[in-house]
């Protein structure tokens, strides 16, 4: 089964939604939040992770998830 993750990015936090499970959660858009995000998403082994481009607020998340070996599209 394919698992797809969508992430809504803002200056202070990321809102995460996992399909098809429907799980949703938020993390801070900071280093601690990114560590939590990478750990939680790695457990799902997602096929793809999509983030909106927000003028730079997504850069830390993209770098962190790519470094964790996860497939990211921004």
Q: What is the pLDDT of residues 20-36, one digit of tens each?
A: 999 999 999 999 999 99
Rounded Cα–Cα distance for residues 22 and 40 (Å): 14
Q: Compute how many other C-beta atoms are within 10 angstroms of the C-beta atom of residue 7.
A: 23
- Per-residue DSSP letter, 4: E
- Tell me the sheet residues that pair with 14: 9, 27
pLDDT of 11 reads 95
Say what the pLDDT of residue 29 is.
Answer: 97
Q: Quote the tokens at residue 28.
A: 């801070």
**pLDDT digits 0-9 by tens, 34-72:** 999 999 999 999 999 999 888 899 999 999 999 999 999
Q: In this predicted structure, what is the pLDDT of residue 14?
A: 97
């Amino acid at each position: 089964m394919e698992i797809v993750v969508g992430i809504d990015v803002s200056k202070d936090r990321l809102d995460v939604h996992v399909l098809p499970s429907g799980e949703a959660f938020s993390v801070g858009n900071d280093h601690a939040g990114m560590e939590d995000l990478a750990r939680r998403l790695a457990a799902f082994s997602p096929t793809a992770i999509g983030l909106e481009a927000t003028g730079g607020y997504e850069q830390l998340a993209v770098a962190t998830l790519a470094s964790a070996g996860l497939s990211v599209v921004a």
